[in-house]
Amino acid sequence: MSKISALNLIRKPDVMTLGIELPLDNDWSPEAQARRAGSGRPHGVPDLSSQTELVRRADRLGFSAVWMRDVPVFDQVNMGDAGSVYDVFTLLGFLAGVTEHIALGTAAVVLPIRHPLMTAKAAASVDVLSGGRLLLGVASGDRPVEYPLLGLDFDSRGERFREAVLYIRQAWQPGGLPVNGKRVPALDVLPRPVQSTIPLIVAGQARQDDGWLAANMDGRFVYPGSLEKLAAQTAAWSATTAGEGAFISAFHLDLLDDANSPPEPIRFGARLGRKALISHFRRLAESAVDHIAVNLRQSTRPPAEVVEELAADVMPLLSKKTTTLAA
């Protein structure tokens, strides 16, 4: 049985790791919004023209993960955000072929709107194609419009989520597929994952209690929050999982040219200079946050510049041990 685990790419004993959240553009900055309007591209549809090269660059520079969302339908009225545009498993397979080291994470696949057999097969395929780099973030979904389009009940999504998790875990193991509650040895899903089991990471609460999540998930991905809130969440998650569960959050970043610029809050993150960012990230690391997915959509600087600066001047300094920031 393989001992490869993509969790080891993002969860390190001594440092907090950084990843990148897709779509990898700065389309929410004022300058990019003006360009979008001039080009006729609809509001909410990202600029993907440089994304592949930026993901390759993040891979070469040592970022630990790239994260993508599962948004089947562009709801222009209620959400106004097309997410990563491409089907999440198609995008995962493509990125598996153009990267070598970086973990491929979903944040998150909406389990109740997909048959668990097809999810299990798609995820196993990505895991093999990537050499065991898949982190399967999963959720119950928060977009009610998707459910009636598929003829599904929105209110029962919590129960469907639990059923899907059980089915998928069984489908990845030898012994046959579940049929009417019993495993049929003659039926199998190929390919078998490279990892002994692909890590499941819950995004949000998925309409489950903390005990169930701790027993069935390998990690959790929470919305960005204050230092105090995240410290409380990491402590609770660690206590519930006996320190075994990975803890992940995100941060929307507008990294300014002036390294000494003080922080200014923006939605889900901050506009600030490098020194303030390092200080903030170090405090997250010391609070036992394992991994931060950086979102650059509000960046006023080109994403390529920010990715380079994060790799060179921020990532090497994110110790989980209490340290003093050099002047």
Cis ω on the peptide bond leading into residue 262 (within 30° of 0)?
Answer: no
User: What is the tens place of the pLDDT at every residue in 130-157?
Assistant: 999 999 999 999 887 889 899 999 999 9
Taking the C-alpha atoms of residue 93 and residue 98, their distance in angstroms, rounded to an integer, is 9
The low-confidence residues of the chain, meaning pLDDT below 50, are: 1, 325-327
**Which pLDDT value is given to residue 323?**
55
In 3D space, the residue among 229, 218, 323 whose CA is nearest the CA of residue 279 turns out to be 323
Task: Give per-residue pLDDT as tens, 207-230.
Answer: 999 999 999 999 999 999 999 999
The pLDDT score that the predictor gives to residue 305 is: 98
Sketch out the chain's domains with CATH numbers: 7-317 (3.20.20.30)
Q: Which residue type does 248 have?
A: I
State the CB neighbour count (10 A cutoff) for residue 129. 19
Is the Cα dihedral 167, 172, 174, 177 positive or negative? Answer: positive
Q: Say what the pLDDT of residue 325 is.
A: 46
On whether the pTM is more than 0.85, the answer is yes
CA atoms within 13 A on the CB side of 266: 19
State CA 264 to chain mean position distance: 25
